């Protein structure tokens, strides 16, 4: 039997560590049309960045819906926010864009969800 670089105790400990959701599962939609815009890549109390195939005009005001994939962690399955497109830059991958959104008016309950998402998705720096 080949030697493993992990002991049985190491593997048991790793199995008990909490799993993190991949960021790519957090889809972001344009709320009025229900159109998928892209996937959440970064988040702060002031705004968010998504990876998208679509280019958006800076200063456009939009209504967004952010999917919340973990129903056990949140009391809802989405977060609705009004945003302003703050930037739209080509991504390192051809055909994609990094789109930065600035949140407009954020209610206290929305802010709590944003902070929880930041913690869950490890967006804290």
**What is the per-residue pLDDT across 66-94, written as a single tens digit (0 to 9) for each?**
998 776 788 889 999 999 999 999 999 99
- CATH fit for domain 22-120, picks 3.40.1440.10, 2.40.10.220, 3.40.50.720, 3.40.50.300: 2.40.10.220
* 53-60: average pLDDT: 97
What is the C-alpha to C-alpha distance for residues 70 and 23, in angstroms, rounded to an integer?
A: 12
Q: What are the extents of the domains in the chain?
A: 22-120
This prediction has a pTM of 0.77
């Amino acid at each position: 039997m080949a030697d493993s670089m992990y002991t049985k105790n190491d593997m048991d400990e790793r199995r008990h560590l909490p799993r993190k959701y991949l960021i790519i599962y957090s889809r972001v939609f344009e709320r009025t049309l229900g159109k998928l815009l892209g996937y959440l890549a970064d988040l702060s109390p002031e705004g968010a960045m998504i990876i998208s195939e679509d280019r958006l005009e800076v200063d456009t005001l939009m209504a967004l819906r952010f999917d919340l994939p973990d129903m056990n962690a949140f009391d809802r399955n989405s977060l609705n926010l009004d945003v302003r497109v703050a930037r739209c830059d080509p991504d390192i991958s051809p055909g994609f864009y990094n789109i930065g959104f600035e949140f407009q008016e954020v209610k206290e309950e929305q802010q709590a969800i944003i902070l929880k998402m930041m913690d869950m998705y490890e967006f804290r720096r």
